Chain A
Amino acid sequence: MATVKIVKKACAVNPLKMSQPIGGAFAFMGLRGSMPLLHGSQGCTSFGLTLFVRHFKEAVPMQTTAMSEVATVLGGYENVEKAILNIYNRTKPEIIGICSTGVTETKGDDVEGFIRLIRQKHPQFANFPLVYVSTPDFKDAFQDGWEKTVARIIEVLVEAPKNPARRDPAPVNVLPGCHLTPGDLDELRTILEDFGLEPAFLPDLAGSLDGHIPDEFVPTTIGGIGVDEIATMGQASWTIAIGAQMRRAAEAMQAKTGTPFRVFERLCGLVPNDEFIMFLSEISGRPVPPKYRRQRGQLADAMLDSHFHIGGRKLAIGAEPDLLFDLSSMLHEMGAAVVVAVTTTQSPVLERIKSDEVLIGDLEDLETLAKARDCDLLITHSHGRQAAERLKIPFYRAGFPMFDRLGAGHQLSVGYRGTRDLIFNISNLIIADREQNHEPTPDTWRTDREPDPSTDQAAALH
């Protein structure tokens, strides 16, 4: 059982954390015809937007209420009204999702009140989906913004079923955490469909940010789950929540519609997928398709082949709680030691991470401890690249953002197949690192010399 420690520093160095409002905006991006709107100054949006564009290499819809200094002091009603009108007229969205920021929360803008006034004043918004989430920058992190937003979307947009007693067994709701990629969602969709289930994903980033070429050019999101589809989610037979962060949304769904739910905290690794597949078999009443029996065998074989490389590795990992829990647990099960674990925000999974301690800190903490504890595998998002360069250890990029490599949207970690590929990728990094930096030389095992890291380095190069 890990002790959770909050690092006490006045200055965060090389932040691991990103802000809550863009986590919220990210959730809105999984809705069809959606325009996320940050209520704050224009930089609040443009920084987030740049991150998403660099991560996905796609046009990303995201707007701002462009609060000036004066507007901030006087209150932002006019800016919110103008922004909503402008977005409505220019981009013809199906939904506008609004997240607050540090600026407008410090002022204390009552955005729910603003929305009521806007609905009264402009009849076209009387029933138009406007969803507001309070997400101040100075609290919590990216994952929390996603968590709150999905829960809020359910509270506002899901309708209570007319006849809750009669549920069709095929439709199921899937509430994925923000640590899953569009590629992961597609993988899950295939698995669920193979059991004859009809999944509805909320949010569905696979529909909007998977890089497909849309049939029609639209300035909002180009796909994702529609507001009409969200409304009927209450009729599903089950809600499957992936990641502990989605418990809140699943509970909101149950409270509103009575749909039972099950939370899968992990979908990376052999045992978690066994549980998942058996659950699907159970709720669908179908035997496990032969395809998954084969995939399980492939994963088992991948684990056998890889354990030589991953076993005994000293892992330093920095990620948001659910991703941290998922990846570190899988690698722990492969024989790696979770030596340094750093995360961004509180979560019930943290104390179950297979490490002595989990820090809520930054990449400086990760780097310093990785060095002090002699780690030889680093996993974090792209901002870890500087640390990796200095530490000179294999670096696997995971999480958001991944701006300096391609294919971020399609990197898999779920399912037997996703786990298999992930294990191979990490093992190959380790093998390449050994070939490049740790090939033995005639001097490697000599004991008659002073151990000196710089000559070790030189020897490795010859």
Chain B
Amino acid sequence: MSSLATTIQGVFNEPGCAKNQTKSEAERKKGCTKQLEPGGAAGGCAFDGAKIALQPLTDVAHLVHGPIACEGNSWDNRGAKSSGSNIWRTGFTTDINETDIVFGGEKRLYKAIKEIIEKYDPPAIFVYQTCVPAMIGDDINAVCKAAKEKFGKPVIPINAPGFVGSKNLGNKLAGEAILDHVIGTEEPDYTTPYDINMIGEYNLSGELWQIKPLFEELGIRILSCISGDAKYREVAYSHRARAAMMVCSKAMINVARKMEERYGIPFFEGSFYGIQDSSDSLREIARLLIERGAPDELMARTEAVIAREEAKAWAAIAAYKPRFKGKKVLLITGGVKSWSVVAALQEAGLELVGTSVKKSTKEDKERIKEIMGEDAHMIDDMTPRQMYKMLKDAKADIMLSGGKSQFVALKAAMPWLDINQERCHAYMGYVGMVELVAEIDKALYNPMWEQLRQPAPWDTSVVSWQAKAIAQEDAEAAALAADPVLVEQARRARKICNCKSVELGAIEDAILTHGLMSVDGVRERTSASGGCGMCAGRVEDILAALGVSAEVSAVPFLQAAE
């Protein structure tokens, strides 16, 4: 059994991840987890990520080995839906106390497993490691192994204590655990040439069920969904699928890639958010299945379903066109799933502000991703006041974003819709997109806004807080503009790399003092672009602005040798 450190290193080397491939050896070693600033952010931990990835497995008992915080503060907080068992929503924790910390918590863990089997008899138990037992050296692998032998039931260790990294790393460690212990351990009753896996789909708000009827109509069977509305056994025999779709971008890429490597299951990355994306994904699934031996006629049937569904969806959306005429949407999100809604919003006649993209071709979409990815980063760093000003300046009628900016938008009496994972509406597939448009309509045309934007009757003489916020922002901007020293300071203080918190001035200084020629050089000196890598383009721009041309920077070693 490999150690946790080795597993983490393996995840960082994931060859399926394009981002990894562009990094240097040293960079890869550091890993893809954004080093969090103390006092600067509050994302989830690796344990959180692991739990998110696996908890939707509905018939498994998820046992958290740790103090009460890890499970007590977080259980039953996800919107995944189950068509069968509800044991996944039961909170199980060893709730370790001081005595366990002094004497070790392994015995308690073993007893806890025994209690769960006696009382609930689930087909499998997943045991999650957390920080405190990891520190005191509780060996959950050994306990799980002993329990498995004793009780004759799969007891799977999920080794992702919170402090090893971010949520994203936790997703991948969870993937490693099921690759090591679950996938390939059972056989399906029968197989068909139409069996597929969905990887990284969690069935939040029951979204999977918006797509499933289409699959059923086409005769395509979801052999296993990892992990939305899945049963343990389905994941255990998922290695018999013919093809796989990786849904949630990179969260479980290691699972998709290793299943391809080990079991020859080809996969593609797709999404069911947006009409075009849904059609593309259906086609891709059909294509992969045919490649693996399904009859060719599957494609014709798929095209027929796509044509019918698209026509239906567009017709439904067209009805909103007159109502949306001249309405502007401000779309801000870090969630990858939402790029693909852009086309549908435009088709419904909404104008997108904050991006110049007119039509969403594939290349355009890449650009939106880039632009919005940066903006999404930016918004995390913005003060609420600045955010409010942005809303005002954009003259948007509605804002679509993730949960974090919700309160600012709403308190500014701005219609707002949640398009990230916390939302309670399902927006997947053709029906989902129509649902999204309907929701936007409801939010936009609620008569409430007009009343809320009126000041209280006794407030007529007083300046509203909205006006005050704008005035303060403007005053600060004016004060800035009047003083050339401050202007330069502000210019230099512009944040270029959000992950590593590097400002423009620092990068310029580094380039000038050390004669840097390339993004790599800048990264080495200043750490800029050493996080998610999104800002590499901006660093290139800075290099270009300082007279270091892009061609030159592409061959830094030659230049250095001269």
Contact = CB atoms under 8 A, between A and B. Distances in A.
A206 interface: no
B163 A69 contact: yes
A390 B424 CA distance: 23
Interface string A16-41: 01110110000000000000010011
Contacts of B48: 43, 46-47
Contact of B47 (A43, A63, A72, A218): A43
Contacts of A17: 68, 72, 95
Interface in B227-254: none
Q: Which of B67, B93, B135 has the most CB of A within 10 A?
A: B67
B111 A68 contact: no
Given A14-B91, A103-B131, A217-B383, A42 B45 contact: yes
B384 A219 contact: yes
B94 A62 contact: no
A452 interface: no
Contacts of A217: 383-385, 388, 408, 469
A385 to B, nearest CB: 8
A83 B114 CA distance: 42
B37 A54 contact: no
Given A11-B93, A83-B39, A139-B98, A103 B385 contact: no
Majority DSSP secondary structure for residues of B touching A = helix
Interface stretch (B74-82, B214-222, B282-290, B515-523): B74-82
B364 interface: no
Contact of B408 (A45, A59, A85): A59
A37 B39 contact: yes
Contact of B39 (A22, A43, A53, A65): A65
Interface string B459-489: 0000001001100000000000000000000
B135 A72 contact: yes
A11 B86 CA distance: 18
B75 to A, nearest CB: 7
A62 B40 CA distance: 10
B472 to A, nearest CB: 8
A46 B37 contact: no
A285 B407 CA distance: 44
Interface string A47-89: 1111101100011001111111101110000011011111100
B15 interface: no
A313 to B, nearest CB: 26
B173 to A, nearest CB: 13
A15 B68 contact: yes
A83 B112 CA distance: 37
A46 to B, nearest CB: 5
A191 B39 CA distance: 39
Interface stretch (A208-216, A223-231, A315-323): A208-216
A11 B112 contact: yes
Interface residues of A, number: 69
Interface in B371-407: 383-385, 388, 403, 406-407
B117 to A, nearest CB: 10
A386 interface: yes
Nearest to A88: B39
A9 B109 CA distance: 11
A308 to B, nearest CB: 35
B163 A64 contact: no
B408 A43 contact: no
A117 interface: no
Contacts of B465: 213-216
A367 to B, nearest CB: 10
A326 B73 CA distance: 24
Contact of B67 (A19, A41, A83, A86): A19
Q: Which of B67, B72, B95, B112 has the most CB of A within 10 A?
A: B72
Contacts of A259: none
Contact of A106 (B77, B92, B97, B132): B132
Interface string B86-122: 1001111111111011000000111111111001000
B89 A138 contact: no
A14 B75 contact: yes
Nearest to B120: A13
Given A11-B92, A102-B131, A18 B68 contact: yes
Contacts of B344: none
A126 interface: no
A81 to B, nearest CB: 8
Contact of A22 (B40, B69, B109, B136): B69
A141 interface: yes
B75 A82 contact: no
Interface string B308-342: 00000000000000000000000000000000000
B407 A219 contact: no
A96 to B, nearest CB: 9
Interface of B: 35-48, 63, 66-77, 86, 89-98, 100-101, 108-116, 119, 131-132, 134-136, 161-166, 383-385, 388, 403, 406-408, 411, 465, 468-469
Pairs of residues from A and B, 7 with the lowest C-beta to C-beta distance, nearest first:
A43-B45, A83-B39, A11-B112, A10-B111, A86-B39, A217-B384, A19-B69
16 contacts: A11-B93, A12-B71, A12-B72, A13-B116, A15-B71, A18-B68, A43-B46, A43-B70, A43-B162, A64-B39, A64-B42, A69-B164, A85-B39, A86-B38, A106-B136, A217-B385
